[in-house]
Homo-oligomer: A and B are copies of this chain.
C-alpha cells in the first residue's frame, strides 16, 4: 500500500514521534537534525534509516518514505561507532609518529577497540602518552569523517599507491566478491572501511585511553606476518572511562592467574603442555570440596554416578557426528594403524549413551540420569589459552538425562533448580537465564516443528514459574539439536560469565545417530529425549571465576586452610599443637604457626594468605582451655572455650556462609565465548 503523503519527486521523512517532513532537494540526516534545531545538530552522532545505521552526512533517498532516527551519545548503538572512529584516530596518530606503518584491521570489542599494525618500532606502554597526545591534537582539529565509495579496482590501485599491502591483499581476496567498496578519510588519513563513523573527530572528547599492546597475526594465521595489536577504549563520558579503568584495575587485582600462583592453587607447566592444569594441593581441595558438594546434590536428586574412559574409538565420534565435523577443535586422533584410531574425548555424551544402550530400557526406568565429573580435551589455539578459564583439558560437572517427551518439563525444571541451589550456595545470586530458542525462519534444526514448539513453551513456562532474577528469550540462539538455557552469572565486580547450561537434544538419540530407544507402555519402541546439563560448566573455568569473584578469599567451607593456630610465644607451642590436633580431628583444615616471630607478623602473614580464622593461643588460653579467635574480616573476637570456637566454625561451614563479597562496580564486561556446546 503506497503512502498517501508521498508525491513522485519528493522524499517524506518520518521521525520516531510520527511527525513527517517533506523534501524535494537532496538532504542528509544532519540537514534534518539542523532543521529540527541546532542543539540536536550538535548532539547527533549517527542516524538510522529504516532501521539501518548510516552516517549522519550520508545522502537520503530523493523520493519515497523513510523512517529516520537521529542518535546521540545517549543511544547505546552510538558507543561502538564512536569507538571505531577513535580507532581510526589512533591509527592516524601512530602513522604520524612512526614510519612505515602498515595498517591491518581495527575493530571494536565488547569493551573498547584495537588496531593491528605492522611497524618496525616495538610499541610499548612508554609510547602511550605521545600517541594519546597526538590523538588529542587530531580531536581538537575536529576533522570530518568523509565516506568515499569507489569500484574495487580503483580501491586496489589507491591502496597500492598508499603502500598498504594488507589492504591490497584484503581487497583482492577477502573482498573479492565486491563490486564497490568504501573508504573513510579524516585529514590526511584514509582507510578502507565499511563504516559507520561519527561526523567528526571533535565528537570524541577526552574520555579515551590506550590500555595495552600485544602480539597478533595477520588474519589470525600464525604462519603469516606478525603484527602489534594496540588495545584502547573510549567512552562519551569521563566518569564511565574512570569506572572502566578502575574495574580493570580491580580485575587485575583479582586475576585468577596471579592469585592462583600467589595462593598456590594451580600451575601450568610447558613441558606438560599449554592449557593443561596441574592442580596444586590447595586448589585441589577447592575442586574436591565442590565436587563432593555436587555429588551430594546429585545423589539427592536421583542421579547415578558413572565413570567412563578419556578416550573412545574414532567410530564412536563418527556416529555422534563430532568427527570429522569438529576436528578443528579436537586433538588429532591416536593412530595405532590397521584403522584403529582413538580420540581424546571432547565430550562425555557418547560414552554415557553407550551406558544407556548397555541394556534394554523400559518407560518404567526413565528418566535415567547419568552423572560424571568427566575430563574432556579440546584443542584451543594457544593464543586463546588463559589460566583456568581457557584451557585444553577440563572436567565438566556433567550429566545426561534420558527421558520421555512428557518428562522434559519436569527434568528441565530439576536442572534449573539444581543450578539455582548451587549458585546460591556460592553466593552468586546475580545471574540471568538466557533461553536459546530456534530461528523459526531457518531449517537447520533437527526434530519436528511441533516438538520444538511444545518444548519451547514448556521451557518458558518452567522458567517463568521459577522466580529467576532475570530471564531473556533469544530466538536463533538454540543449538541445531535443541533449545537450551544458559546461566550467565555476574560476578562481584560486575563482569558476566557464562557458566551453567541445560540443553535439550533431539539429534544424538535419532536414527541417524545412536538410535536410542525405550519400550513404552504400549510395548513398542519409542525415542527418548536427551538433556545435557552442567551447573558449573567445568571445574577449571568455574574455579577460575570463583577465585576472581572472591578475590582469593574463599568462604570457610571452601578455604584450603580454614584455621591457623598462632602462638603468642614459644612457651605455648605445646598447647598450640594440641589445639591444632583437636581441630584436625574435628575435620577442619588447619595449620600452625609456632615460629618465634612476633604475633603481629604471624597475623599479617595469615591475613595475606587469606586464612579465614586464626586461633591465637597463649598461656592464659592454656590455663582456661580457651582460644582467642581472630576473624580475617572482623578482627579479634575475644577468647572462647575451644568447643564453642569449633561449633562456630562448624556452623559456618555447614551453612556454606558467604561472608564477604566486594561491592560490584556498575560496568559489565561480557566474557561469554567459552561456551561448551555438546
Indicate if the CB atoms of B307 and A287 lie closer than 8 Å: yes
Binds B, one of A77-85, A230-238, A265-273, A596-604: A265-273
Stretch in contact with the other chain, from A15-23, A331-339, A401-409:
A331-339
A332 to B313, CA, bound (A): 14
Report Cα–Cα, A333/B336, bound state, in Å. 9
Q: Is the CB of A393 within 8 A of B332?
A: no
Chain multiplicity (copies): 2
A264 contacts the other chain (CB 8 A) = yes
A272 to B343, CA, bound (A): 10
For the complex, give the distance between the alpha carbons of A354 and B375 in Å. 20
Cβ of A393 and Cβ of B310 under 8 Å apart?
yes
Verify if A163 is at the interface (C-beta below 8 Å from B). no
Q: For residue A377, which residues in chain B have a CB less than 8 angstroms away from its CB?
A: 310-311
A329 surroundings in chain B (CB, below 8 A): none
A284 and B306 CA atoms in complex are apart in Å by 5
For chain A, the count of residues having a C-beta within 8 Å of the partner chain is: 50
Given the complex, which residues of B lie within 8 Å of A281, measured CB to CB?
Answer: 304-306, 370
Contact of A359 among B264, B277, B306, B354 (CB under 8 A): B264
The answer to whether B269 and A354 touch across the interface, beta carbons within 8 angstroms, is yes
Q: Does A128 contact B (CB under 8 A)?
A: no
Interface-centre pick from A271, A308, A315 (highest chain B CB count, 10 A) = A271
Inter-subunit contact A285/B272 (CB<8 Å):
no
> Do A312 and B267 touch (CB < 8 A)?
no
List of B residues within 8 angstroms of A285 by Cβ: 305
Does A278 reach chain B (CB closer than 8 Å)?
Answer: yes
A284 & B305 in contact (Cβ 8 Å cutoff): yes
Q: Which of A350-388 contact B (CB under 8 A)?
A: 350-351, 354-355, 358-359, 370, 375, 377, 379
Q: Which of A309-346 contact B (CB under 8 A)?
A: 309-313, 315-316, 319, 331-336, 342, 344
Cα A377 to Cα B343 in complex, Å, equals 13
| A279 interfacial by beta-carbon distance below 8 Å | yes
Per-residue CB contact flags for chain A residues 291-314 toward chain B (1 = under 8 Å, else 0) read: 000000000000011111111110
On whether the beta carbons of B336 and A379 are closer than 8 Å, the reply is yes
With both beta carbons as reference points, the residue of chain B lying nearest to A585 in the complex is identified as: B300
In the complex, what residues of B have CB within 8 A of residue A305's CB? 281, 284-285, 288
Q: Is A160 an interface residue (CB 8 A)?
A: no
The secondary-structure label for the interface of chain A is mixed
A288, A307, A312, most chain B CB atoms within 10 A: A307
Chain A, 246-258, contact with B by CB distance < 8 Å: what is the 0/1 string?
0000000000000
**Do B331 and A332 touch across chains, with their CB atoms under 8 A apart?**
no
> A9 vs B289: C-alpha distance in the bound complex, in angstroms?
84
What is the CA–CA distance of A310 and B281 in the complex, to the nearest angstrom? 18
Residues of chain B with a CB closer than 8 A to A473's CB? none
A280 at the B interface (CB under 8 A) = yes
| B304:A284 contact, CB within 8 angstroms | yes
Q: Are A309 and B273 in contact (CB under 8 A)?
A: yes
Known: A276-B311, A281-B306. A271 touches B334 (CB 8 A): no
CB distance from A146 to the nearest CB of B (A): 46
Inter-subunit contact A279/B306 (CB<8 Å): yes
Cα A305 to Cα B282 in complex, Å, equals 9
Q: Are A284 and B271 also in contact (CB < 8 A) when A334-B331, A335-B332 are?
A: no
Instruction: Check A308 against B278 for contact (C-beta < 8 Å).
Output: yes
Which B residues are CB-close (under 8 A) to A331? 311, 334, 336, 342
Q: Indicate if the CB atoms of B308 and A310 lie closer than 8 Å.
A: no
- The reply to whether A273 and B342 form a contact with Cβ atoms under 8 Å apart is yes
A273–B284 Cα gap in the complex (Å)?
30
**Which of B272, B315, B342 is the one whose CB lies under 8 Å from A312?**
B272
* Residues on the B chain within 8 Å of A315, using CB: 271
Give the most central of A272, A287, A375: most B CB within 10 Å.
A272
Q: How far apart are the CA atoms of A316 and B278 in the complex, in Å?
A: 14
Q: Chain B residues near A276 (CB, 8 Å)? A: 309, 311-312
What chain B residues lie within 8 Å of A270 (beta carbons)?
Answer: 313
Question: For the complex, what is the distance from the CA of A544 to the CA of B72, rounded to whole Å?
Answer: 72
In the complex, are the beta carbons of A271 and B335 less than 8 A apart?
no
Considering the chains assembled together, what is the distance between the CA atoms of A281 and B356 in angstroms? Answer: 11
- Contact, CB under 8 Å: A280 / B358: yes
Given contacts A272-B312, A273-B342, contact A278 B336 (CB under 8 A): no
Chain B neighbourhood of A335, CB < 8 A: 332
Cα A306 to Cα B280 in complex, Å, equals 6
* Min CB gap A657→B, angstroms: 23
User: Which B residue sits closest to A394, measured CB to CB?
Assistant: B309
| Complex contacts, A307 vs chain B, CB 8 Å | 277-279, 284, 287, 395
Q: Is the CB of A279 within 8 A of B267?
A: no
Q: Assess the B306–A278 pair: CB atoms within 8 A.
A: yes
Chain B residues, Cβ within 8 Å of A269: 354, 358
Per the bound structure, the CA–CA distance linking A489 and B154 in Å amounts to 85
Expressed in whole angstroms, the Cα–Cα distance for A308 and B280 within the complex equals 9
Nearest residue, chain B, Cβ from A342: B273
Interface residues of A (CB under 8 A from B): 264, 267, 269-273, 276-281, 284-285, 287-288, 304-313, 315-316, 319, 331-336, 342, 344, 350-351, 354-355, 358-359, 370, 375, 377, 379, 393, 395
Q: List 22 A-B contacts (CB under 8 A).
A: A271-B312, A271-B315, A272-B308, A272-B312, A272-B313, A273-B311, A273-B312, A276-B309, A278-B308, A278-B309, A279-B306, A279-B307, A281-B304, A284-B307, A288-B305, A307-B395, A309-B393, A311-B331, A331-B336, A331-B342, A333-B334, A375-B375
Across the A-B interface, give the 10 residue pairs with the lowest CB-CB distance, nearest first: A281-B304, A279-B307, A276-B309, A309-B393, A267-B358, A269-B354, A284-B305, A310-B310, A272-B312, A273-B313
Known: A271-B319, A273-B313. 15 other contacts (CB 8 A): A267-B355, A271-B312, A271-B354, A272-B308, A273-B309, A277-B307, A278-B306, A278-B307, A278-B358, A284-B306, A284-B307, A310-B310, A311-B331, A311-B393, A334-B344
